[in-house]
Amino acid sequence: MSKKYSDIKTTLGIEVDNKTDNRPAYLTHYLQNHKNGVSQFFKPGAEEYLNEIIEKKSLGKTRGFEDYLPEKWDVPFPFPDQPKFKFIDLFAGIGGIRLAYQHLGGKCVFTSEWNNYAKKTYHANFGKVPFGDITQFKESDIPDHEVLLAGFPCQPFSIAGVSKKNALGRAHGFLDETQGTLFFDVARIIKHKRPKAFMLENVKNLVSHDKGNTFRVISNTLKELGYSVHFKVLDGKHFVPQHRERIIIVGFDLKVFDGKEGFEFPKLPEPSNKIKDILEPKVDAKYTLTDKLWEYLQNYAAKHKEKGNGFGFGLVDLDGITRTISARYYKDGSEILIPQKGKNPRRLTPRECARLQGFPDDFVIPVSDTQAYKQFGNSVTVPLMHAVAKKVVKEILANK
């Protein structure tokens, strides 16, 4: 049989839908990692799923995995043949941070993402189905790696629980303080697997959330785990025509680097991108706002202007940059509207949203417009991630 992944995927029926569980993840993780010393983490689950497929599809006798190991990964972004380091991709979304680290020679050995639509996009581009809910995974079930990546969601941290435990005479550490939040899962994996470095990404408001207490807990947790911590709020506008500020947190294992890593956040280029440079030449009429919606947005903006509020639509200067695109963009597109001569303004197309985040044009968008808007609104500015990743990888490779 053909040894291209696309043909093997078709033969075995590896697809992602709303009912996808972890079985395709075990199989695709094994297929991508059978030669790099981490296959034992995935092989039992992969074998069970493969045997189930063979029986269900009546594929006949087989020598096992040997019949289904791809010789060619014909996906848009295949992993490097001779990787320089290993990393894991948590809260992976559609793989924006992975793109940066893979481009720099890294091999992703574990991926986790709970949303099945995002899994579908991830699989289409990287040939790997992410595992689901990371809270259900033991730290010991995750392969060793040198870099941990996580765009973890920000959730409120309960500081009150600390005083309660003090009153009860119970010991607690910062790791214990984060229980009940998704950051806890990042922290417990770091504690157990001891990657040389990590890179975390979040909204800039993480710094000020709960009067700074949330970020203080996160920072102290990482330091208590034995890592030096670097953080900075960076704006994607230096690479793409979008104002998008995010906090990047980078850490290095003190036992490995002794706090002497040469890491510094990159000096970013002067912003020069214009929104008109990423627009498609021909756009379907369905992206133009209806008269009813356009009238509603104008009335809504006028009403809030009278009250002194800043709420309203964002009609873009084509020679300028946009506001921050969000996951709610699918609702009405109001934060970023493109003016049109003699017509109502229009939404960005999904491909334009991808470009606004710095995704290359060969990045496949296999989902509906609604899901695509959510995915790119939730994602990262890829070239900004790449700029920081270069600095992290430089330290990792120098340490080797």
What positions carry a catalytic annotation? 154
What is the distance between the alpha carbons of residues 267 and 238, in angstroms, rounded to a whole number? 10
Pairing of β 343-346 and β 338-340: antiparallel
For the packed helices 96-103 and 382-399, what is the interaxial angle rounded to 10 degrees?
Answer: 40
What is the distance between the alpha carbons of residues 142 and 42, in angstroms, rounded to a whole number? 9
Pairing of β 85-90 and β 147-150: parallel
Look up residue 307 and give its DSSP letter: T
Continuous H helices in the chain: 5-12, 23-33, 43-57, 96-103, 116-126, 160-167, 174-177, 183-193, 213-224, 254-257, 291-306, 329-332, 350-356, 369-378, 382-399
Q: Report helix, strand or coil for 200.
A: strand
Q: Which two tokens stand for residue 28?
A: 């695709």
Tell me the chain's radius of gyration from C-alpha atoms. Answer: 23
For the packed helices 213-224 and 183-193, what is the interaxial angle rounded to 10 degrees?
Answer: 10
Whole-angstrom CA distances from 394 to 84, 266, 269, 365, 388 are 11, 12, 19, 31, 10
| Displacement of CA 98 from its chain's centroid (Å) | 7
